Structure 1
Amino acid sequence: MNNHVHRIAPPKRIHSIDALRGFALVGILLWHCMERFDLTLVPVVDNPFWQRVDTGVFDTLNFLFAGKSYAMFSLLFGLSFFMQMDSQASKGVDFRGRFVWRMVLLLLFGYINGLMYLGEFFVVYALLGLFLIPLYKVPTKWLIGLAVLLFLQIPAVISFVSLLENNVPNQPTDLVVEMNRLYETCASVFIHGSFADVIDFNLWRGQWAKVLWVFNNYRYLQLLGLFIIGMLIGRSGIHKDEVRMVNYSKLVLPYALAFFAVFYAIAYLLPYWGVKDFALRVGQTMFKTYGNLGQMMVYVCGLILLYYRYGGRKILDYLAPVGRMSVTNYMMQSFVGVCVFYGFGLNGAVSLNYLESFMFGIFFCIIQIAYSNWWMKRFYYGPVEWLWRICTWLCRVPFKRNTVKGLV
């Protein structure tokens, strides 16, 4: 019994890692506000000056967070997987079966979350996370090779080259057409429909639209690659040593900057090189995805250096509680976001421009940061994290900080 209690005791946290996860969640929220939680209506502002400001806000947040925040969150998902497996292995516990059950629970949480917001990603994480189990004991050199292959997105490369060589029509595939049709349908439902209409659409059609988006944009390849890299970071033990985290961040940062700059430059130059129509869409998505990996690593390395070497610890520690209760905060973002932007709520997708949407996002970020800091001083876990842990272990889990003496 003592071993069982010890196994479910609140784990020791690495605050810098939690801060990275909190930063990723802030970026996800701000970008979702620009996307209006999948209601991508383009606002028109009467004043030309404010129209430029509005467009500038969108372009800036697109550059800063689109594709980068989720990439960081995915990298940390792989690291968390390793940390859970390693922690239980040190106690003589094989966590693989329990992790499968944990992913089943995440799939359930994600589906419930997806009934409100079809753009949520826990369903995708749960399905792809299962691949980590057979990969857990694969030698490092093979995992590095596999991650590189996944990041190359070879199906996207083949598609892009075929479009350039006119081997296939330079137009969307049937699956892309179906995806676009579903997103057009959901726009009408989300603007004009009731809460029940939104739920009804997301029961199946919304889930299918999300799957098509992940497939058509080859995002499943990048996500699994990031899971693997996160797992390899854990395997190397870098996250356990402040000095190693700093040294590796200094080493990787210039390469990440160069990687980001080169591929973003290629993406923006494609139209000037005569690439157009669907080939341009495929090419820009592919090269920007490459560039996003570099930009994401710039953020990771920069934030680690800021945390440990350049006086940013006190500020970033405010983000750590946001990261510690990331599942709760992510689901809260979905619920509040659709209530603000959808027609059954405040209809913000129609009534708010990008600047106003950004201001709402900042306001809600401040609320989540304040609330998370208040909550984590009193409880070991966020509400959903606690429920997830109870369902994972099927036993009592300490919740309030004064319920189990000596646990920190």
Structure 2
Amino acid sequence: MEKLTPSSVAAPVPETSRISLIDMLRGFALLGILMMNIPGFSMADYSFEAFKNDPDSFNFWLYQFIGVFFEGKMRAMFGMVFGAGVLLFVANKSGKGTSVHWLYYRRMFWLLIFGLIHSHLILWIGEILYLYAVCGMILYLFRNVPPRYLVWAVPIVAVASFVAGTIQYQDIREKRIAYSEATKAKSENKTLTATQTKALTEWREIEKTMIPNREDAKANTKKMKSDYSTVAGYLRPIALDIQTKYLPFEIWDSLALMLLGLALFKWGFLTGAWSNKEYWTVAKIGYGFGLPLVIYSNYYAFHHFSTLEANLARMEEVPINWVNLIYPFQRILLVMAHAAALILLYKSGVIQGLMNRLVAVGRMAFTNYISHSVICTLFFFGYGLNYYAELAFYQIYIVVLAIWAFQLIISPICLKYFLFGPLEWLWRSLTYWKVQPLKR
């Protein structure tokens, strides 16, 4: 690794220069992301159908509560904070012997490598490091753009994503209709045309990659409850598709949220510079408009998308799902409201002990995020304790609470003796190509 004289060393942001408020938001979002990821670690395909249509079930109301207040919002908050992190990273690094551009892109390169390890070795296909690295490389180009232009990325991307999603949906819909017609002809013992035979083949490919049928779902569960090699053989191709085939469609949403984070940092929203009255206004508007939208959206889904079969039937009937346009707007309204409420709570000092623990979780976000996957894969997957598809919906959140408690306790203790979490230290050492100090 290269040697730099002390006066020319480019180094991580000093602890005294950190913004604890942003660390708190990052910590809160990280714990919330585990709440959203835990079903992917633990539940079989279509297992939600057992309770999401039963208002008499406790699991139904837990599912609705999480969907209304957290689904999509935690990833949005994390993306916003990641965007602000770009400006925090480049702060005070000019004139220190090493190009800040080179340092930043080396940082993103190593994040991308960590993402590949996370998805292909630890076997979590819902991981975001790879995606964030790609988005981060693009985001850096916009660091000097005025915030009034950056915020336009959110509505533009929302509409563009809806259009792109509708195009993809209509393509799948056409194949579904063709499949249904071919299946009907086959059931009537008619000789299938070449077009009908092709329709059966094409739908089967969609079942293998996107919409598993009931038998596929059973087979997938069996794979997830098997040894490491079997689980990896099932999950790695999915991860590769996400990181290659679907990447051009995935980056825009995350990039828009990061651009919003850049703007909010420049405006002082994420640093607590606004008045309490202004934060209250954001919270009132966010909850006032966002909650009715998401509640209506969930109510609509309850009536029209209750089962796999209902989804497929609805697909054949409806060429455009206009209700999907609600999602990006209710999510932004609610994540802004959540952020404003958390900032007000932090500034009030009412639960400062908990807030300080969230700050510590946020400062060790990389380590804590990867530890989520290590703990959950070893607890749920077949090569670990094999609790996959074994627990009720509410029970998986007992696991979440246990992990939250562990990280809220252990993170402050770690930072009492060390400057960084272990993976933060490794990432910084690789970024600066110099072993960083670890102990206090």
TM-score, normalised on structure 1? 0.83
Q: Does 1:104 align with 2:137?
A: no
Contact 1:189 1:197 in 2 (8 A): no
**Residue 3 (structure 1) shift:** 2.6
| 1:292 match: secondary structure | helix
CA 1:163/1:340 → structure 2, altered by over 3 Å: closer, same or farther? closer
2:124 is matched with 117
Q: What CA deviation, in whole Å up to 9, does each residue of 1:79-111 have, x standing for no partner?
A: 111211233248686422221111110011111
Query: Which residue, out of 6, 11, 16, partners 1:7?
Result: 11
CA distance in 2, matches of 1:266, 1:139: 35
**Residue 224 (structure 1) shift:** 0.9
CA 1:239/1:180 → structure 2, altered by over 3 Å: closer, same or farther? same
**Residue 322 (structure 1) shift:** 0.7
**Residue 23 (structure 1) shift:** 0.9
1:254 is matched with 284
Identical residues among aligned pairs (%) = 22
CA distance in 2, matches of 1:302, 1:71: 15
Q: Does 1:85 align with 2:90?
A: yes
CA distance in 2, matches of 1:330, 1:93: 29
Q: Does 1:24 align with 2:54?
A: no
CA 1:99/1:37 → structure 2, altered by over 3 Å: closer, same or farther? farther
Q: 2:261 is matched by which residue type in structure 1?
A: G
CA distance in 1, matches of 2:275, 2:223: 44
Q: CA-atom RMSD, angstroms?
A: 3.7
CA 1:284/1:346 → structure 2, altered by over 3 Å: closer, same or farther? farther
Q: 1:293 is matched by which residue type in structure 2?
A: I
Q: Does 1:398 align with 2:437?
A: yes
Query: Which residue, out of 147, 160, 164, partners 1:154?
Result: 160
Higher mean displacement: 80-89 or 6-15: 6-15
Q: What CA deviation, in whole Å up to 9, does each residue of 1:41-63 have, x standing for no partner?
A: 527989xx998123333332233
1:381 is matched with 420
Query: Which residue, out of 283, 288, 304, partners 2:343?
Result: 304
Q: Does 1:226 align with 2:231?
A: no
Q: Does 1:194 align with 2:227?
A: yes
**Following superposition of structure 1 onto structure 2, how do residues 67-82 of structure 1 map, counting pairs within 5 Å?**
67-82=72-87
Contact 2:42 2:396 in 1 (8 A): no
Q: Which has the larger radius of gyration?
A: 2
Higher mean displacement: 224-233 or 249-258: 249-258
CA 1:239/1:273 → structure 2, altered by over 3 Å: closer, same or farther? closer
CA 1:163/1:361 → structure 2, altered by over 3 Å: closer, same or farther? closer
Contact 2:10 2:97 in 1 (8 A): no
CA 1:72/1:167 → structure 2, altered by over 3 Å: closer, same or farther? closer
**Residue 123 (structure 1) shift:** 0.9
**Residue 356 (structure 1) shift:** 1.3
**Following superposition of structure 1 onto structure 2, how do residues 317-328 of structure 1 map, counting pairs within 5 Å?**
317-328=356-367
Q: 1:393 is matched by which residue type in structure 2?
A: Y
CA 1:213/1:258 → structure 2, altered by over 3 Å: closer, same or farther? farther
CA 1:99/1:202 → structure 2, altered by over 3 Å: closer, same or farther? farther
CA 1:398/1:4 → structure 2, altered by over 3 Å: closer, same or farther? farther
CA 1:348/1:211 → structure 2, altered by over 3 Å: closer, same or farther? farther
Give the unaligned 5+ runs of structure 1: 402-408
2:189 is matched with none
Give the unaligned 5+ runs of structure 2: 178-201, 306-312
Contact 1:380 1:400 in 2 (8 A): yes
| 2:103 match: secondary structure | helix
CA distance in 2, matches of 1:122, 1:259: 31
Q: Does 1:130 align with 2:137?
A: yes
